[in-house]
Structure 1
Amino acid sequence: MFDRLKMAAIAAGVSAVALLAGLAYGGNADYPATLLKTGASAPDFKGIDGWLNSPPLDMKQLKGKVVLVDFWTFDCINCAHTIPHVEDWYARYRDKGLVVVGVHTPEYSFEHDAGNLKNAIKRFGIQYPIAQDNQYATWNAYGNQYWPAVYLFDQNGRLAFSHFGEGSYDETEQQIRTLLGLKDKHG
């Protein structure tokens, strides 16, 4: 049964960690992760082991900006597929008020190594700030359960949009443009 459940989770883009966490807690309300709801305040970056491409950031200093928080890990193929889109949004909209923060939360032990993470950032060509969340403190503060996961916050630090897994790139970009007060890119 576990193998079928695991295969279904993988097919749906749910990580093994999320699957095991859900099984361990049996869907119990005591499970520490509860997904953020639209309109919720942005949790701060907690327990960060290190910052790459940026000095440390916190949500208070980002107030007034549109903030995209992207949970990823470098050995996740689904994450690798989303990185070019996130990097493109960063390049196109950073001068218009968008801040992108990649929160690297490792699934495997070798992903905890800062050297491996630095090599991956270079390999992927990532220019935006990366927070190394080895202890899952920020992951848990967000109630996140997936790789990749995008959380988009408005200028007041309220969750405006979220997406889990690959896809919905046009919808995500339109949400970014709307929050930045830009016209629809198709109109």
Structure 2
Amino acid sequence: MKPIRLVAAVLAVGLALAAAWPSGWGAARAGDSAAAPAAPEFAGIDRWFNSPPLTVSGLRGKVVLVEFWTHECINCLHVLPHTKALYDTYAKQGLVVVGVHTPEFEEERDPARVAAAIRQYGITWPVATDNEMRTWDAWGNQFWPALYLIDRDGRVVYRHFGEGNYDETEQRIRQLLAKA
């Protein structure tokens, strides 16, 4: 494929993905909750680890980091130490981290394997298993890993897909926690 055609193909895929995301999800900043969409509920969760069942509406008033992941995804495993550091640093200041384990492969649906991964990686925050991808679909998510930051008003004010952007994610969390 010629370089110009390759660039055009990559641009077309990127534009198609951007069009598929809920409108406005990328525009909101941490301090601009009025322009941000309301966070969808956790839908069709099969089981909860490390917590009784949670709801997005029940978490209003808190700063919440939702992380979509799966235990066989290498990129998810690369992000995990950063999520753990955020949890360890900011949970006492009010940050709630919720992992949404959404399997890509059939063997990832096994709750015993999910529980083993939670133990192996030292995950102590709540983890929901989304085996039917209902929460995934409700959020319009398309990527592993994916981070969504919810402000105290229940609005998604930040999102990041894949690895990286760790400093910006932490800065956004600090901003939201600092707001009274």
| Residue 54 (1) aligns with residue 61 (2) | no
Say whether the 8 Å CA contact 1:35–1:143 is kept in structure 2.
no
- Normalising by the residue count of structure 1, what TM-score does the alignment of the two structures yield? 0.79
* Alignment coverage as a number of residue pairs: 160
Q: How has the CA–CA distance of structure 1 residues 35 and 86 changed in structure 2, closer, same or farther, with 3 Å as cutoff?
A: farther
| Residue 180 (1) aligns with residue 177 (2) | yes
Q: Equivalent residue for 1:71?
A: 68
**Letter matched to residue 59 of structure 1:** V
Aligned-partner Cα distance in 2 for 1:175–1:70: 15
Q: What SS does the corresponding residue of 1:75 show, helix, strand or coil? A: coil
Deviations along 1:88-115, one digit per CA (max 9) or x if unpaired, are 1111111111100000000000000000
- Normalising by the residue count of structure 2, what TM-score does the alignment of the two structures yield? 0.82
Deviations along 1:21-64, one digit per CA (max 9) or x if unpaired, are xxxxx98x8x7x64761300010100000000100000111111
| Residue 108 (1) aligns with residue 120 (2) | no
Aligned-partner Cα distance in 1 for 2:43–2:23: 16
Q: What SS does the corresponding residue of 1:146 show, helix, strand or coil? A: coil
Q: Equivalent residue for 1:138?
A: 135
Structure 1: tracts of 5 or more residues without a match: 10-18, 20-25, 183-187
Q: Equivalent residue for 1:122?
A: 119
Moved over 6 A (4+): none
| Residue 170 (1) aligns with residue 167 (2) | yes
Structure 2: tracts of 5 or more residues without a match: 29-35
| Residue 44 (1) aligns with residue 41 (2) | yes
Aligned-partner Cα distance in 1 for 2:126–2:69: 13
Q: Percent identity?
A: 53
**Letter matched to residue 81 of structure 2:** P
Cα distance, 1:139 vs. partner? 0.2
Q: What SS does the corresponding residue of 1:172 show, helix, strand or coil? A: helix
Calculate the aligned-residue CA RMSD, in Å. 2.4
Q: Equivalent residue for 1:98?
A: 95
Aligned-partner Cα distance in 2 for 1:81–1:174: 20
Q: What SS does the corresponding residue of 1:61 show, helix, strand or coil? A: helix
| Residue 147 (1) aligns with residue 144 (2) | yes
Aligned-partner Cα distance in 2 for 1:35–1:81: 29
Q: How has the CA–CA distance of structure 1 residues 159 and 64 changed in structure 2, closer, same or farther, with 3 Å as cutoff?
A: same
Say whether the 8 Å CA contact 1:35–1:142 is kept in structure 2.
no
Say whether the 8 Å CA contact 1:35–1:144 is kept in structure 2.
no
**Letter matched to residue 115 of structure 2:** K
Say whether the 8 Å CA contact 1:34–1:144 is kept in structure 2.
no
